[in-house]
Amino acid sequence: MSSFWRSAVALWREVRSALLLLALSVFAAISVFGALRWREVDAENVEIAALRVGRDISVAGDEGPELVLARIEFLGTRGEIDSARILVDALDRPGREALAAKGRYALGNALLRRAFELIERAELDGAGPFVNLSKREYRRAMQLAPYYWDAKFNFDVATRLIRDYPGFEQKHGDELEVEPKKLWTDVPGVPKGLP
């Protein structure tokens, strides 16, 4: 055996235990990290399941995006639109487009449900802004996820409730001009002219 191979075998005998110890330490660190992460994900899944069955759990905007989305859906079904809107804005981050689209869709559904409640109570003037806000949220959802069929369908429903008129768009500033009260509405089923 040549001197090169003898020195290589001697070197291997000296460093073998140190390399094995290093490999064992790296494996243990990875295992501990994986176990902690699994525990966090499991706890998050329990909270998501609780929100889906109707149990109220407080969620901050900086928690896991799936948990934030579940909270938005929970708030939307209960009509807490302002609270849901704050969390939807927390989802608007790069890499979360699909979840942000689902959040915008859930918020749009909450707004449209509110509009339908007002229409059922014959408060037609109050329903219009909620329909327009729901259309805006559906548009944002479709911008984030262009092939989101549910958002397209609900946008179409909201558009059929109240038509978009280019003359009603706000041109500048934050204040809206006061318009004279309309005698007729754009909601279907209400006459548009004289009998």
Positive or negative: CA dihedral 118, 124, 130, 135? positive
Could you tell me if 75 and 120 are in contact, meaning their C-beta atoms sit under 8 angstroms apart? Answer: no
User: Residue 193 — pLDDT band, cuts 50, 70, 90?
Assistant: low
Least confident span in 28-37, 94-103, 135-144, 182-191: 182-191
Q: Is residue 195 over pLDDT 60?
A: no
- Over residues 148-181, the pLDDT tens digits come to 899 999 998 888 887 654 444 444 445 555 555 5
Fold held by 21-164 = 1.25.40
Q: pTM, whole model, 2 decimals?
A: 0.65
Q: Residue 153 has which token pair? A: 């369908």
For residue 17, the model assigns a pLDDT of 73
